[in-house]
């Protein structure tokens, strides 16, 4: 008879800067009270690392510890890192956010898509939520084939009139845009690695290299039907209804890609909307670079102003999710019903199950939380929210002590 290994007390390791001890306390509470299995959190303030913590178990059924260099797939948190590649392309003059997508990708103009702009596509306004065929791994690896499939899709609504979460297709479209505008025709994963990850010293991959050993990758506790029943009380009714309706855009948006996040092969193809693998430290460092203006990776002041500007379209109801959401240039943005950061200039991306990462230029914060136990909160997962709040409370106290021009930011942060 097979028996499960004895559980040791979850370990928590890493460092916090003076003043950020409250983040460690909340991180420890995540394991003691909020059910985390394995996780990591990192934060940068004013370009300096102030939080770098990890702990718990690397796999749900084992007893191996989550170590400093443990990596995990972060689902849709990948979207924000993919959007950074388009910002680099914009800064180099290769990509105009307000140009039609078809300027760079002529085949995209099929089926009424000729006028869709890059900005509309990245704002989830293009209506390209669905695919008319499934894409198994072997087809996902053939990027020319994927591009042909995407180009022939018909929008689910008149582009620019509504917005709705492009669950997986947004990443595939970003992939093809990068391939089209990059003079070297690199894939998005390679572009990210060479233009962002290497300059910043990040361990984050969109398309996991085969040489990364399996023991460095955290195993997931996925979303089960039984656990889903327990989450009904926290699931917005509009989303629940769409999850249960077989014909809903939300249900159908998951059908196109044949992926299993527990299968190594699903991590080695490039799916820029959902299969990025890395550490919280790497993700927070990338967002910190953007929070400081992005000059380290060649982001110009003009591009940074475009990325940090609040969404131009005031619509809030997401026709796919059924709840308010706000997107701009590939990033989730704060809004009246979805708030993070200290001002509307913050930008980031959450991932299914609870991961979240963002940049807050006004507070000079880059932040990331990742984990291997997937939960059902669409936003403000209690594990992540407690850590984020602790970071902001620490920054507010330290900024207030410094006085001067920091006092106004301190008051804004303390109100979060």
Q: Are strands 12-16 and 347-350 parallel, antiparallel or unpaired?
A: unpaired
Q: Which residues of the chain have pLDDT under 50?
A: 1-6, 404-416
pLDDT at 337: 85
With both helix axes pointing from N to C terminus, report the angle between 280-291 and 77-91 in degrees, rounded to the nearest 10. Answer: 40
- Mean residue pLDDT of the chain comes to 90
Contact 128, 149 (CB under 8 A): no
pLDDT at 413: 41
pLDDT at 287: 98
pLDDT tens-digit series, residues 19-62: 999 999 999 999 999 999 999 999 999 999 999 999 999 999 99
β-partners of residue 338 are 335
Among 369, 392, 376, which residue's Cα sits nearest to residue 55?
A: 369
pLDDT at 404: 43
Angstrom distance (rounded) from CA 322 to CA 318: 5
The continuous run of DSSP H or E covering 146 comes out as helix 143-151
Contact 87, 96 (CB under 8 A): no
**Domains of the chain by start residue, with CATH:** 12-414 (3.40.710.10)
pLDDT at 83: 98
pLDDT at 234: 65
Q: Are strands 12-16 and 356-360 parallel, antiparallel or unpaired?
A: unpaired
Among 192, 211, 194, which residue's Cα sits nearest to residue 86?
A: 192
């Amino acid at each position: 008879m097979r028996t499960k290994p004895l559980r040791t007390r979850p370990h928590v390791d890493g460092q916090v800067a003076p003043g950020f001890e409250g983040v460690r306390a909340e991180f420890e509470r995540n394991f003691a009270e909020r059910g985390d299995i394995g996780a990591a959190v990192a934060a940068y303030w004013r370009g300096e690392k102030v939080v770098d913590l990890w702990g718990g178990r690397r796999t749900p059924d084992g007893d191996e510890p989550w170590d400093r260099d443990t990596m995990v797939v972060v689902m849709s948190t990948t979207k924000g890192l993919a959007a950074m590649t388009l910002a680099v392309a914009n800064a180099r003059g290769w990509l105009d956010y307000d140009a039609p997508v078809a300027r760079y990708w002529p085949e995209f103009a099929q089926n009424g898509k000729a006028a869709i702009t890059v900005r509309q596509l990245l704002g989830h306004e293009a209506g390209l939520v669905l695919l008319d065929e499934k894409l198994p791994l072997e087809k996902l690896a053939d990027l020319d084939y994927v591009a042909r499939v995407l180009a022939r899709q018909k929008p689910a609504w008149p582009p620019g009139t509504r917005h709705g979460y492009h669950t997986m297709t947004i990443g595939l479209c970003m992939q093809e845009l990068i391939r089209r505008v990059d003079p070297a025709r690199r894939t998005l994963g390679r572009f990210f690695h060479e233009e962002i990850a290497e300059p910043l010293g990040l361990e984050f991959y969109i398309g996991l290299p085969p040489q990364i050993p399996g023991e460095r990758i955290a195993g997931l506790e996925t979303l089960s039907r039984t656990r889903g029943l327990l989450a009904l009380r926290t699931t917005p009714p509009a989303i629940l209804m769409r999850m249960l309706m077989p014909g809903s855009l939300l249900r159908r948006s998951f059908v196109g890609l044949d992926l299993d996040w527990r299968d190594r092969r699903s991590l080695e193809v490039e799916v820029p909307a959902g299969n990025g693998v890395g550490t919280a430290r790497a993700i927070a460092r990338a967002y910190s670079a953007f929070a400081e203006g992005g000059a380290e990776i060649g982001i110009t002041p003009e591009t940074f102003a475009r990325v940090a500007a609040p969404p131009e379209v005031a619509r809030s109801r997401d026709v796919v999710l059924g709840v308010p959401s706000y997107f701009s240039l590939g990033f989730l943005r704060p809004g009246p019903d979805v708030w993070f950061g200290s001002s509307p200039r913050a930008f980031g991306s959450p991932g299914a199950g609870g991961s979240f990462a963002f940049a807050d230029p006004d507070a000079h914060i880059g932040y990331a939380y990742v984990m291997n136990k997937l939960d059902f909160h669409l936003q403000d997962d209690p594990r992540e929210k407690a850590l984020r709040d602790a970071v902001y409370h620490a920054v507010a106290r330290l900024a207030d002590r410094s006085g001067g021009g920091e006092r106004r930011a301190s008051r804004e942060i303390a109100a979060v």
